[in-house]
Amino acid sequence: MLAQQKNDIAALIQAALAPFIAGTALAPTVVLERPRDPSHGDVACNIAMQLAKQLKMNPRELANQIVAAVLANPAAAGLVESADVAGPGFINLRVAASAKQAVVRTILEQGEQFGRGTAGAGKSVIIEFVSANPTGPLHVGHGRQAALGDAMASLFIAQGYDVTREFYYNDAGVQIQTLANSVQARLRGHVPGDAGWPESAYNGDYIADIAADFKAGKTVACSDSAAVTASGDVEDIDSIRAFAVTYLRNEQDIDLQAFGVKFDNYFLESSLYKDGKVEQTVDALIASGKTFEDGGALWLRTTDYGDDKDRVMRKSDGTFTYFLPDVAYHINKFQRGYAQAINVQGSDHHGTIARVRAGLQAVDMGIPQGYPDYVLHKMVTVMKDGEEVKISKRAGSYVTVRDLIEWSGNGDIARGRDAVRFFLISRKADTEFVFDVDVALKEGDENPVLYVQYAHARICKMLSLWTGGIEASLIDADLSHLSAPSETALLATLAAYPEMLARAQVELSPHQVAFYLRELAANLHSFYFAEKVLVEDEALKRARLALVVATRQVLRNGLAMIGVSAPQQM
């Protein structure tokens, strides 16, 4: 059922209630739900049971009077086919066939805009995701963040929000020095396992690649910074550090490009120190009276804000703990005008939530409680040839996004990207996920992304066999012919798309799009085997063609929402 139709039915029930609540302080909100048993109707409402006691009426009698008023209302014509009362006072309504069929015309009229809303008009949101350290290739966890974050951004855009996709680079701290030391060790001829190899060094082959290019004096550049030319001097640790960071940022850019993900802004942790934002944050926290010194360190009373213990901000050696720049960064987000900020991160960041939010409350800048929102995802296990894959030669200790794309497409990057993006959002973020490369390579119904894409390609094939007209003319098709069970099921699923999108955005749950697409594809395949489209009866043929064109549009819209292609042939 379309949102407007749902609103109209709620208004009918509200109007039916008016005589009963007149003169009272009652202001009930009518909530419509889908019955668990489809035989009970299309929508159900328990408002009579909610109000009966306050109105001193029998709930079933009140429900019967509401039903009578709804059916007597002229506005119900063409919208409500029937209504009855079940049990102690549940109101069950059946939507008129013409109202169900109207979704086809709505889709044909709105095209790519079908399903989009305006709830976010005039609002801005910043979604931070991936945010990998520039110390190695992107791993599969980063891939899950990329798929989740990019789909989430699309969901917010679909509701009218002004969205910024941001990548936060942790380019300050010990891990950057470890990277430089690792490259320097390679330049000196050491390899992992040698006596001279640093214990904490990065062991992947990519370190050797960086060392070779540095020695050759090559120039590298990444998406948002100036080119860096290597000095080639093995003792020039500053040049090694700058070259290695830029080299790996460029490598990550290449991985993200292969994954079809683009960012609007890149934010460097080092800029927070360079611009004095970290020191300003320390000063603001001290001024708030929420800090204390102990053992030569500066602490923040995060327990005042629900944390399980107070946290060190500045260590006794004068260096900052990692959560302090996080607080400074999120102050910066708020000061840039983002009333809502969403961070997509691994579940290993769970411990930072309370302390970052505590810091943001302690500075007393009007930042709302619960800022920012967090979407934490659990780990991804990769299976290939029936066995778990734990390491990559290139990365040294983990499977990279690039590995996964190449494996899942058997060398076809486009196919691999579709499979990885679909698979990685096909489960709730907070559930562990097993990515089976063997399933991604299968050609049958067991492969979920191909199952959905094939539904789109199947429709394109049907339309290529139609020689009787042009698609644009189908908007005038007589949809009253769509009455078969498989057609009714398809109509209901199409109508559910806008509400599903809105719910997925509010709940920060892009997996709902993947769930929906699989259901829509299943309904299309069932329809295909149950009913012939290109029949002799011209009116019936045009109605069914209009239905499949509408289905193709929604499949295309939904796949685009999660960054997956909609092929015309397979």
Query: 335-361 in b/e burial notation, b at 16+ Cβ within 10 A?
Result: eeebebbbbbbbeebeebbbbbbbbbb
Question: b/e string for 170-205 if b means 16 or more Cβ within 10 A?
Answer: bbbeeebebbbbbbbbbbeebebeeeeeeeebbbbe
Percent of the chain with pLDDT over 90: 87
The torsion of the CA quartet 197, 203, 209, 210, rounded to 10 degrees, works out to -70
Is the confidence at residue 45, as pLDDT, over 90?
yes
Strand-pair partners of 82 = 94
What was the pLDDT predicted at 391?
A: 60
Beta strands, E only, 224-372: 228-229, 265-268, 291-294, 297-300, 311-314, 340-346
Q: Which of 147, 151, 102 is CA-nearest to residue 491? A: 102
* Statement: residue 392 has pLDDT above 80: no
Residue 125: both structure tokens together: 């949101």
Quickly state the pLDDT bin for 3 (edges 50, 70, 90): confident
12, amino acid identity: L
The predicted model gives 472-491 an average pLDDT of: 96
Quick check: 397 pLDDT over 70?
A: no
Q: Which one, of 351, 348, 367, lies nearest residue 281 by Cα?
A: 367
Average pLDDT, the chain: 94
User: At 87, is the pLDDT very low, low, confident or very high (cuts 50, 70, 90)?
Assistant: very high
Segment 477-504 mean pLDDT: 97
DSSP 118: -
Q: Which residue has the higher pLDDT, 397 or 56?
A: 56
Give the residue carrying structure tokens 């963040």: 145
DSSP secondary structure of 539-561: HHHHHHHHHHHHHHHHHHHHHHH
